[in-house]
Amino acid sequence: MKALLALVLMLLMSPAWGEGNPEDAQKLVNERIHALLARIEQLKALPSVNEQQRMLAVEEVIGSVVDFKRITRRVMAKYYKKSSKQQKIDFYTVFKQTLLNTYVKGLWEFEDYKIRIKPLKSARQSLRNTQVEFEVVTASGQVFPVIQSLFFHKKQRRWLVQNVIISGVNIGQLFRDQFARLVTQNHGDLDLAIQAWALAVKPVGKSRDEEVEGA
């Protein structure tokens, strides 16, 4: 699941698709798949790349495309308005780290797969939520249906990622439930909940070789 999530959210490094046409969101996904796969292969070909370098490469690709603030707000849900400005900043920081770490791990796990873009369904398209559907087909023939949700940012005049559903699992809802559970476990203390989330984020910096040697 982590590998598939990583692939899906890495598909969208955006040029200026500024007209708000849902077909542009689909074209964006289709084009970026091939560009990103080429970038991944370049990194894998290097003799030594640690996780920090991988994460920076990932952020360069998706940093301007994934709306981390919007996703963070949705994950915090009802606790967002209750939180202080500093708590919002703290959770934004650790949550972004969570996503980037997930992408990094997944990119090096996924091997030998095909992507099949599906036709747009008119009933599922709007500027607030355009759903691009595709399938990830593994070498063994296993198929993972994916729905990528994008919205059109009117001020910035471009499409941005806001959620993904993989094999029926709503990833945004999954993170939202996780945060709510941490708040409950910490008796409503948002600072402790954020700290607990941060502790779950694995530190980066070791290369694959270093991890093997230290195991």
How many Cα atoms occupy the beta-carbon half-sphere of 112 within 13 Å?
4
Strands 143-153 and 158-166: antiparallel
Question: What number is the average pLDDT over the span 104-114?
Answer: 70
Question: What number is the average pLDDT over the span 63-76?
Answer: 90
- At 1 the pLDDT is 66
How far is residue 137's CA from residue 134's CA, in Å, rounded to a whole number? 10
How far is residue 120's CA from residue 125's CA, in Å, rounded to a whole number? 8
Please choose, from the candidates 39, 53, 94, 46, the residue with its C-alpha nearest in 3D space to the C-alpha of residue 206: 53
* Cβ atoms of 24 and 74 closer than 8 Å: no
Query: What are the structural domains, with CATH classification, of the chain?
Result: 2-204 (3.10.450.710)
Q: Is the pLDDT of residue 185 over 90?
A: yes
Question: What number is the average pLDDT over the span 154-161?
Answer: 88
pTM of the predicted model, to two decimals? Answer: 0.79
